[in-house]
A and B are shown apart, each in its own frame.
Chain A
Amino acid sequence: MLPWYQDPVNFIAAWLRTVLSGWGLAPGAVDFILTFLGAGITALLGMLWVIFLIWYERKLIGRIQDRFGPNRVGPWGIFQPFADMLKIFVKEYITPAGADRVPYNLAPILSVASVLLIWAVIPFTMTIMGVNLNVGLLLIIASGGLSVLAVLLAGWGSNNKFAMLGGFRAVAQLISYEVPMVVSLLIPVILSGSLGVNDIVKAQNIPFLVTAPVAALIFFISSVAESGRSPFDLVEAESELVAGFNTEYSGLKFGMFYVAEFLHAFTISLLFSTLFLGGWRGPFAEQYPLLGFLYLGIKTFVVYFVVILFRGSLPRFRIDQMMDLNWKLLTPMALVSLIITALVAQPLVSLPWVQAAALFAANAAILIIFMGWAGRKVSRKRPIVGRPRPLAVPHPDDHMPVEP
């Protein structure tokens, strides 16, 4: 047990436990109250954190697109999300006549819950975490499956053709990208020998970004795809499907899908920095666990910045390109890197630095080979289908209007 100035949260928890026991409650009831309080505070903070995320992301996207972003309400527009929240709370929500009520109303709730559930197992510092579940990684993967279900329920329940098309695409896209993601998550498990998220952090004397860069890259790309944001926003492609799966949603039900999207983007950055960048680890993080919060925050915001850059700078994929990227590049790459990692790591397990260097070299080789191969595939000329069409070149005899 650390003194209070090193670990205030657990100190308060222990104090609360003695107080509650002092009131004569049964140990089971005390446990339940503490569990309830811990879970409630974590989930509530996660939900409230979205208010800041919305401001941050809009500001950053604005800057990327050479705009100011929100800048009217409060200093730097920081109260803009509060104004938006007030507005969306008093907006009418319309339930379309033909909707299937239960899935229609369950979908926005489930989409937020599936993202928030990940926060239950993330270690924020060495000692402050929801729960150090011994199969935490499996819970994270399972909650990814739940978010697919939420999109599908929304698409099905709306009884709208655009929404249904969005739901179809969601099944194809989100399900496909789960394959390389899960395979790439096997590699941290191999290197750390545990499925518990905090144990994976503790095993990263050398961050897994160095020992498994290929897995990190695959995890990053496929989790961005899983969050359904641009460049992978085919489930709600505005120019094709009106608004995709959330066409029929309005008011706060629509707002909940947006909360889920922003929170998902932040949560994948949190996951990436936990699983591959060493999470709360840093100088003195063991002695003063609160410092871990700072380290995790810095790492997460670096990754989150890249996620937003992704959104701000890349055009949307076509659906066949997206499926090709997944099945013909990421999945084989994940499987090959799994094979290579398993072969290289075992004989060198007693020499951690040599093992890290060997793994890094092997991963670099995989990356170069696959990228070279994919680059050749992409740059190859496609056969022209159909007759070549005449180009619109102005004839010299044509009269061209001259500007005064």
Chain B
Amino acid sequence: MLSDWLYVGVFFLIAMFLPGAAIFVAGLLAPKKPNPIKNSTYECGIETVGSAWVQFKAQYYVYTLVFLVFDVETVLLFPWALAYNRLTMFAILEGLLFVVILLGGLLYAWRKGALEWV
């Protein structure tokens, strides 16, 4: 069990290392001739005005909120789905009631116009 996670951890480190090493090697091979014009931020040939780190539109926030609801929902549903074969019909219906309530929530968000891209 623990060795499984050791494998995943080692795998992730190697998966990070391979592209990192490739970029490092490319950095050794490639020429380096920076100058202020080359290093300036790209914006259609004119100098960029102000910072790019602006505040974002509230629309994205609404979508993220709806996403959060559903993602937390699936976290709660995975154990239910996993135990499905061992559950009685009553327990399955209870799980489904939860899904139906969330479907109702989706319809509510839809009616309220939270899912309209403006």
User: Taking CB as reference atom, which chain A residue is nearest B5?
Assistant: A133
Residues of B within 8 A of A116 (CB): 11, 15, 18
Cross-chain contact of A132 among B4, B95, B117 (Cβ < 8 A) = B4
User: Taking CB as reference atom, which chain B residue is nearest A28?
Assistant: B3
Residues 338-353 of A, flagged 1 when their CB comes within 8 A of B and 0 if not, give 1100110111010000
Given contacts A328-B110, A346-B92, contact A40 B14 (CB under 8 A): yes
Report yes or no: A39 in contact with B82, Cβ–Cβ below 8 A. no
A291-317 with Cβ < 8 A to chain B: none
B79-103 with Cβ < 8 A to chain A: 81-82, 84-85, 87, 89, 92, 95-96, 99-100, 102-103
Report yes or no: A342 in contact with B12, Cβ–Cβ below 8 A. no
Cα A183 to Cα B77 in complex, Å, equals 9
Given contacts A175-B63, A176-B67, contact A131 B8 (CB under 8 A): yes
User: Taking CB as reference atom, which chain A residue is nearest B19?
Assistant: A112
Report yes or no: A38 in contact with B92, Cβ–Cβ below 8 A. no
Cα A189 to Cα B74 in complex, Å, equals 12
Q: Tell me the A residues contacting B by CB distance below 8 Å.
A: 31-32, 35-36, 38-40, 42-44, 47, 88-98, 105, 108-110, 112-113, 116-117, 119-121, 130-134, 138-139, 156, 158-164, 168, 171-172, 175-176, 178-179, 182-183, 186, 189-190, 193-195, 242, 247-248, 251-253, 256, 259, 319-320, 323-324, 327-328, 331-332, 335-336, 338-339, 342-343, 345-347, 349
* 18 A-B residue pairs with CB within 8 Å: A36-B10, A39-B10, A89-B29, A91-B26, A93-B27, A116-B15, A117-B15, A133-B8, A164-B52, A172-B59, A175-B64, A176-B63, A193-B82, A194-B82, A327-B66, A328-B110, A339-B96, A342-B95
